[in-house]
Structure 1
Amino acid sequence: MFGKIKETSDFIRNEIGETPDFAIVLGSGLGALKNEVEAIKTLKYRDIPNFPQTTVAGHSGKLIYGRLEGKKVLMMSGRFHYYEGHDMQTITFPFRVFHLLGIKNLIVSNASGGVHPDFQVADIMIIKDHINMMPEHPLRGKNLDELGPRFVDMSEPYSRRMIALAKQVAEEEGIDAKEGVYVALQGPTFETPAEYGMVRAIGGDAVGMSTVPEVIVAKHQGMDVFGISIITDLGGPEIAFAVSHEEVLAAADKAMPKVIRLVKGLLRKC
């Protein structure tokens, strides 16, 4: 595995010629952020050695390297999900590569279902913590000692420094940014009312099908992480709104201007 990670990182390094300051993951419907980047190089996943392929609408399957707010950024337009049939090593492979590229900071984004009673569709939530309910752990198996320790401290999964800076940006920009706990389930079904109720009962504010494996692997490698969720649907034990992937993408599109302003402001302050 380490040999493949190194081969891929060497290929990307040769293509971009620099060490990015940030890796940014664009979740479902969040691809418009890539239009804000002064693009220098675009690589299709299929042209990158060993890189997985995405199969989900709203995930275009490209790495975009460029400048955003004075920072060198490598954007991942399209992520990989457990429900697509990938194992955790495949899902988190790009984040292993990011580490070998020398990237120290990661911004992750996703579309999620809101279970907090104060949340509305198209709200944005800064992720302060998460609960991992995926059926497989990304660090299960032989440890990659070259990349990180066997046992990983998770007392600060999301950078308190970046959260504080993002809150400053939200206040300055007049953005109503919520803060909460993200719960990861495997999908691909949206949650039942009882499952939404369970998420709320265990301390979750939003629920989705991604992000947490990526964050765990990033922390294994000592990266600083900032996470943001767009609330694209609502659920709870007493309410059941029908939802489709198309509606998720539409809600994400509605929230996109706020996300762009928040991320750009955060990059300026970092």
Structure 2
Amino acid sequence: MMYCSFTDSASFLEKRLGRSPEVFLILRHGLSEWAERLSEIITVDWNEIPGLPALHSIGRGLTFTSGNMKGVEVLCLDGRLHYYEGYSMNEVVSPIHLASALGIKVFIFTCAVGLVSDRGKVGDTMIVRDYINLMGVDPTRGVEARKGQDRFTVVSNAFDRGLSNTALGLSRKLEIPVFEGVYAAVSGPTFETPAEVNCLRIMGADVVGMSLVPETVTAVREGGRVLAICLVANMAGSDFGGDEEVNRTVEGLTYKVFSLLDGIISRIAEGKV
């Protein structure tokens, strides 16, 4: 498979925005209103951008929002493509390729997760230190490396230490319950059984989710710095209210996470991270 070029997509978006974003955020469902805190906002519908995959998830669209905060140009996406929705892995990571083609080097990903270990509790925030990929697929598989790019991707330090330390410090300052841990990625969409959760715990996972890893691998391969912020929304393997309960929990954490994102962008603006 040839390397997927997003040059045309990036050129179109850059012309529409009239600016060069420095930070790319994926805001999970329930956090998209954070983008309204930006100034000089410009929105572009996913379907307007050439080269991006067609959306086929029922009742859901995606929008890019660009704006400025503290002098930092930010590009947000209000959701993501999930592998469990039937998208190919190349399609799942297409927003990362687009952001990279725009020259973006800082990636902040947010997601909801189920708790596996006893290191935290529902309602906490986890900053990802490492991951375990159990999705059974890798976004770089079969994709030809660009000239000068290694065929294999080193992810031993996938999550940027400076960004992670900043997020941890700000969380504590803002009195947001936080811990740092390991994210286990599964393909979904079925939630985990108690036996699977026990297996994940033995493997060293603290939380489990159905996204994040493909985006992280792609961003690292493109030379990006990655920060991943997880919202602990439920106890994995328990009898809970499914996606509706996850969304209710995330809603309760919204403004704490908004304050955290504000602080991170401010630190980037100050050149402290």
Alignment deviations for residues 101-124 of structure 1 (CA, whole Å, 9 cap, x no partner)? 000100001011011224222211
Name the aligned partner's letter for residue 243 of structure 1.
G
Name the aligned partner's letter for residue 7 of structure 1.
D
SS in 2 for 1:186: coil
Question: Which of 46, 55, 58 is residue 57 of structure 2 equivalent to?
Answer: 55
The residue number in structure 2 matching 1:201 is: 202
SS in 1 for 2:182: strand
Q: 1:261 Cα shift?
A: 1.2
Between the two proteins, the alignment pairs up a number of residues equal to 266
Question: Which of 240, 248, 251 is residue 249 of structure 2 equivalent to?
Answer: 251
Is residue 120 of structure 1 aligned with residue 121 of structure 2? yes
SS in 1 for 2:171: helix
Change (3 A) 1:215 1:148: farther
- Is contact 1:96–1:217 with CA below 8 Å preserved after alignment? yes
Q: 1:67 Cα shift?
A: 1.4
Is residue 214 of structure 1 aligned with residue 212 of structure 2? no
TM-score by length of 1: 0.92
Is residue 67 of structure 1 aligned with residue 83 of structure 2? no
- Is contact 2:3–2:146 with CA below 8 Å preserved after alignment? no
C-alpha distance in 1 between matches for 2:159 and 2:200 = 20
The residue number in structure 1 matching 2:30 is: 29
Q: 1:147 Cα shift?
A: 8.2
Bigger drift between 73-82 and 30-39 goes to 30-39
SS in 2 for 1:190: coil
Give the gaps of 5 or more residues in structure 1: none
Change (3 A) 1:268 1:54: farther
Alignment deviations for residues 223-270 of structure 1 (CA, whole Å, 9 cap, x no partner)? 00000000111035xxx2223111111111111112111111111112
The residue number in structure 1 matching 2:172 is: 171
C-alpha distance in 2 between matches for 1:5 and 1:54 = 20
Change (3 A) 1:201 1:28: farther
Alignment deviations for residues 162-205 of structure 1 (CA, whole Å, 9 cap, x no partner)? 11111221232222211111111000111111111111111110
- Is contact 2:3–2:144 with CA below 8 Å preserved after alignment? no
- Is contact 2:168–2:179 with CA below 8 Å preserved after alignment? no
- Is contact 1:92–1:138 with CA below 8 Å preserved after alignment? yes
SS in 1 for 2:195: helix
Q: 1:55 Cα shift?
A: 2.1
C-alpha distance in 1 between matches for 2:32 and 2:206 = 24
Give the gaps of 5 or more residues in structure 2: 269-273
TM-score by length of 2: 0.91
Q: 1:2 Cα shift?
A: 5.1
Let me know the Cα RMSD of the aligned residues.
1.8
- Percent sequence identity over aligned pairs: 32
SS in 1 for 2:236: strand
C-alpha distance in 1 between matches for 2:131 and 2:4 = 31
The residue number in structure 1 matching 2:186 is: 185
Matches within 5 A, 1:80-119: 80-119=81-120
- Is contact 2:6–2:97 with CA below 8 Å preserved after alignment? yes
Stretches (4+) displaced over 3 A: 1-4
Alignment deviations for residues 142-178 of structure 1 (CA, whole Å, 9 cap, x no partner)? 3231584211111211000111111221232222211
Alignment deviations for residues 59-117 of structure 1 (CA, whole Å, 9 cap, x no partner)? 65100000134311000112001101111111011111111100010000101101122
C-alpha distance in 1 between matches for 2:219 and 2:165 = 20
Q: 1:32 Cα shift?
A: 2.6
The residue number in structure 1 matching 2:226 is: 225
C-alpha distance in 2 between matches for 1:143 and 1:161 = 31
Change (3 A) 1:13 1:166: same
Alignment deviations for residues 31-65 of structure 1 (CA, whole Å, 9 cap, x no partner)? 232232225210111111122326277x6510000
The residue number in structure 1 matching 2:143 is: 142
